[in-house]
Amino acid sequence: MADEVILLDLWASMFGMRTRIALAEKKVKYEYREEDLENKSSLLLEMNPVHKKIPVLIHNGKSVCESLIQVEYIDETWPGDNSLLPSDPYQRAHARFWGDFIDKKVNVTARRIWATKGEEQEASNELIEILKTLEAELGDKHYFGGETFGYVDIALIGFYSWFGVYDKFGNISIESECSKLIAWAKRCMQRESVAKALPETEKVTTFISQCLGLE
Amino acid sequence: MAKKEDSVKLLGFWASPFSRRVEMALKLKGVPYEYLEEELPKKTPLLLELNPVHKKVPVLVHNDKILSESHVILEYIDQTWSNNPILPQDPYEKAMARFWAKFVDEQILPAGFMSLVKAEKGIEVAIEETRELIMFLEKEVTGKDFFGGKTLGFLDIVAGSMISFCLARAWECMGIDMISEEKFPGLNRWIEKLNEVEIVRECIPPKEKHIERMNKIIERTMSS
């Protein structure tokens, strides 16, 4: 039986980007459906009744929610010859730890730069610290997992398309503070799966500016 | 692969559900370990050295490998010691177990504690909202002994440590009958089943001491 895979998503979601990248890395054919968050589809509400959020991965009628859980599910369901997570339990745990760190820290802080008034300075300072921690973890490696692109890279790279937003509203320059991380991001962008999944930074910045009524 | 000469140490805290759940997993697998109690809120130099990123318990040290974050540790334990598996084999079932475990820690915990203590929307609203979240779990466990089926699994360990042996005590302190028998027959039965498992009973924080601590935390949170 042919697999039916549907992804309910939003073009600008750095979480949806993770799932798109994972599906592309595994060459899984899927139907992409853009959601309007002001007017959520009945399918979204049915498939993610708990959070009512995107992305939602629907595989043969069954839904998997939460982007990093989706990435692991994709890795386990379509093993192929390119694993997104290491097979060694400790290396795997290490990757999950950093995925969890990114989930707990990055968006919560980054959002405050543009979505909350009066916190731009504090939030952007905190964001730089978080990115520097990640940069230290990357070290001199090609990717977070070493030579191969994987889970932690996938967890973080979507935020790169939002760096313009953080720079603009936080009055910072992530490039000058975290040059190694930017170099890593550019390496990732050379992968077709990433280049296709990430929108242009300018498009995201314009979108957010419009949301805030500034353009 | 685990070997005979394995050294396993766990830095934990007696009242932490995150730490207790790791103990449950180690006991379930029959893994001998050395337990090191952190006297929180004071943090030992060892804890700060082993977990510089979060500075929290639990931290598991397996030979020369250092692991933190309870969900990460649980999965590591499951992959390293393959007897009595905690996670299902099927990728979809595994994804569901992970989803609900995340839901317990990231949704039920804040709703079931902070929202109640602060009661910004009023206590009755906060209680109802918490019950709505818990109802999702009721549906997951109805018709089963455990979330994992016939035996304890990942979600039982996470939800057991967080809800039955931590949040339930906070609710008792606040005089709230959160998981009533009438509305949550499945979960009540599950809690009874959990209490029948010896290794779970060994990992429940002592009640009186725990209630005393909860009361202090609630008072402190209310006045902050």
Mean pLDDT over residues B88-94, rounded?
Answer: 97
pLDDT higher than 80, residue B165: yes
Interface mutation target, options B99, B137, B158, chain A, most CBs of A under 10 Å = B99
- Find, in chain A, the residue whose alpha carbon is nearest to that of B98: A69
Q: What residue spans define the domains of chain A? A: 5-77, 89-212
pLDDT higher than 60, residue B1: no
Top-tier CATH class for A5-77: alpha beta
SS3 A172: coil
Identity of the residue in A73, A77, A90 whose CB atom sits nearest the CB atom of B65: A90
Residue B100: alpha-carbon gap to chain centroid? 12
Contact flag A73-B94 (C-beta cutoff 8 Å):
yes
Task: Point out the residues of chain A with pLDDT beneath 70.
Answer: 1, 215
Contact flag A96-B72 (C-beta cutoff 8 Å):
yes
Contact (Cβ atoms closer than 8 angstroms) between residue A19 and residue A71: yes
ipTM above 0.90, yes or no: yes
The reported pLDDT for the residue numbered B224 is 82
pLDDT higher than 70, residue B218: yes
pLDDT higher than 60, residue B105: yes
Half-sphere exposure of A118 (CA within 13 A, CB side): 0
Contact (Cβ atoms closer than 8 angstroms) between residue B127 and residue B178: yes
SS3 A7: strand
Mean pLDDT over residues B39-57, rounded?
Answer: 95
pLDDT higher than 80, residue B2: no
Mean pLDDT over residues B92-118, rounded?
Answer: 96
CA A147/CA A168 separation, integer angstroms: 33
Mean pLDDT over residues B184-213, rounded?
Answer: 96
CA B107/CA B104 separation, integer angstroms: 6
Q: Which CATH architecture has domain A89-212?
A: Up-down Bundle (1.20)
Q: What is the 3-state secondary structure (H, E, C) of A104-154?
A: HHHHHHHHHHHHCCCCHHHHHHHHHHHHHHHHHHHCCCCECCECCCCHHHH
pLDDT higher than 70, residue B191: yes
Beta pairing partners, A146: A143
The reported pLDDT for the residue numbered B42 is 93
Contact flag A90-B98 (C-beta cutoff 8 Å):
no
Q: What is the 3-state secondary structure (H, E, C) of A103-114?
A: HHHHHHHHHHHH
Burial of A27 (0-12, 13-18, 19+ CB in 10 A): exposed
